[in-house]
Chain A
Amino acid sequence: MTLKRTSIHVLISALLAISASLIYNIIYSGAFEVNFSSILNSGSIIGATMFGCVLMGLGYYLGYKWKGEKILGWINILIAVLSFVSIVSVLGMQLPMTIESPEMFPGLAIPMHFFPALSFFTIAPFFKIN
């Protein structure tokens, strides 16, 4: 596993996850007539998704260098668990009082927490070492 190969993996998975998140944001906001753009907008979606994908790529790269291919399964489990745990922050999030219907916010933000891992795992076979 080379750094270049991992970087491409990170970049493509980030692009896919960002696209999925932006599309989902438009659909959700339109369908339920909610506006959370002051918290969740294109900038924050792109930034957070990129950050998540870079972290996953780093974990993959360093894990592979440390223990070889057999560690990647455990890293996948760690990524899945961390993605799941991260939804707690959404449920406990305190939105500004000016935002109406805060109960609709988790429905928008929680799926987005899984998009980076989903896209990263989806294209992982294309970047297999052998």
Chain B
Amino acid sequence: MKSIKLALGALTVLIASAFTAIQSTNWKLKGDAYSVTFKGKKVEGVIKGLKTNISFDAAKPENAKITASLDVNTINTGNGMKNKHAKSEDALDAKKFPTINFESVSVTGKGGTYVAIGKLTIKGVTKEISLPFTFENKGAESEFKGKFTIAPKDYTITKSGTPETLEIEITTPVTK
């Protein structure tokens, strides 16, 4: 009887510790306060329609899971013609591929600076990217900031005038 109690106790501790290990905080976007900008040679703009699913604990980044999507149709370069070009078939092809998606595979780092390795899907092409980001923990309201570079050609964006590289910057205020 004693050994059964001990076994049950050990099992309870094991299950509880397992849950503790995988538990991360779920962060929600703080309204429309986020910004996603892109900048390249002769072109810059913003993109909206961000939807996220962020499970992240600064102390245990290895348990983090981040997914995000953006609405291609919200792209804004500040010029109507450029917007039309950006959404066209040989650019982002917004009709066929209305969203840009990111899904993290692993997250590493500590002390507020992290790197998410994940799959970025643009125009139906998925590539693995490295997304360095910072996490400013302000309690219930915190902020993620990330910056990375992509090559549009890798995603079959071949429209003339498309820059060789695009720097993408993301600032995401979040709440618990």
Contacts and interface: CB of A to CB of B under 8 A. Distances in A.
Interface stretch (A2-10, A55-63, A86-94): A86-94
- Most chain A C-beta atoms within 10 Å of own C-beta, residue among B44, B76, B81: B76
Contacts of A100: 76
A102 interface: yes
Contact of A102 (B37, B44, B83): B83
Contact of A94 (B37, B78, B84): B78
B80 interface: yes
A99 B80 CA distance: 11
A95 B45 CA distance: 10
Nearest to A97: B46
Interface of B is mostly: mixed
A114 interface: no
Contacts of A103: 80-81, 83-84
Interface residues of A, number: 15
Interface string B72-90: 0000111111011000000
A102 B78 contact: yes
Interface string A73-114: 000000000000000000111111101111111100000000
Interface of A is mostly: loop
Contacts of B37: 97
A102 B46 contact: no
B78 A96 contact: yes
Nearest to B84: A103
Contacts of B44: 97
Contacts of A97: 37, 44-46, 76-78
7 contacts: A94-B77, A95-B78, A96-B78, A97-B44, A97-B78, A99-B78, A102-B79
Interface of B: 37, 44-46, 76-81, 83-84
Given A103-B80, A105-B80, 5 more contacts: A94-B77, A95-B78, A97-B76, A103-B81, A106-B80
Which 6 A-B pairs have CB atoms at the shortest separation, nearest pair first?
Answer: A103-B80, A95-B78, A97-B46, A94-B78, A102-B80, A97-B78
